[in-house]
Amino acid sequence: MNPAAKRRQQSSQPVGSCTQLNYHIVFATKYRRPTITKTIQERLYEYIGGTLRAKRSELIEIGGVSDHIHILARLSPLLAVSDVVRDVKANSSKWMNELEEVRDTFEWQKGYGAFTVSYSQIETVSDYIRNQEEHHKTLTFRDEYIAFLKRHGIEFRMEYLFEDEHHG
């Protein structure tokens, strides 16, 4: 097989395969610390979009507040969701820690939530993500995240759901 044909085979799905794999991905900063400031928020979102593009995926919408983000993305069928999220979190936290305006070490929480989104619901989920500032005037991330898990029928144990900072 010539090199060009090999690259095409590695970068696309099999001939005749059609996919629309949309995910609503949610994760928080470590201990839900409010470390995503307004001054870096847009650049962080752009960086995450670039990471997704490098993974042959497409950022549809991104938003959040100081302690968490929501990503709506169309992911490549060739990659596992967990691998994409791992790379987004690792690359973006490394990038954040290289910024002068980030004074403390920046980290994401260990886990994440990923929920499939049907094509017909993309605009609804996009609107939800765009309105995070307003939404979180009355709802904490913790309550929002638990509601997502329940709505999607995901079983969980509260003691493993969130990382909490322990003092002493």
At 99-111, the pLDDT tens digits run 988 888 999 999 9
Q: Is residue 14 part of a domain?
A: no
pLDDT computed for residue 166 by the predictor = 54
Summarised one tens digit per residue, pLDDT across range 109-162 is 999 999 999 999 999 999 999 999 998 999 999 999 999 999 999 999 988 888
Q: Is residue 3 part of a domain?
A: no
Mean per-residue pLDDT, 72-82 = 96
Question: Cα–Cα distance between 102 and 40 in angstroms, integer?
Answer: 9
* CATH number where 135 lies: 3.30.70.1290
CA-CA distances (angstroms) from residue 7 to 12, 15, 27?
A: 9, 14, 33
Long-range contacts of the stretch 111-114 (C-beta < 8 A, 24+): 111/27, 111/161, 112/25, 112/26, 112/27, 112/85, 113/25, 113/26, 113/27, 113/145, 113/148, 113/149, 113/154, 114/23, 114/24, 114/25, 114/26, 114/81, 114/85
Question: Cα–Cα distance between 139 and 147 in angstroms, integer?
Answer: 11
Query: Does the structure show a pLDDT above 50 at 90?
Result: yes
Q: Using a cut of 0.75, tell me whether the model's pTM lies above it.
A: yes
Question: Cα–Cα distance between 26 and 37 in angstroms, integer?
Answer: 18
Domain count, the chain: 1
Q: Is residue 31 part of a domain?
A: yes
Question: Cα–Cα distance between 70 and 72 in angstroms, integer?
Answer: 7
Contact 89, 69 (CB under 8 A): no
The percentage of residues in the chain with a pLDDT greater than 70, rounded to a whole number, is 89
Q: Is residue 11 part of a domain?
A: no
Mean per-residue pLDDT, 11-34 = 87
Q: Which domain holds residue 142?
A: 19-161
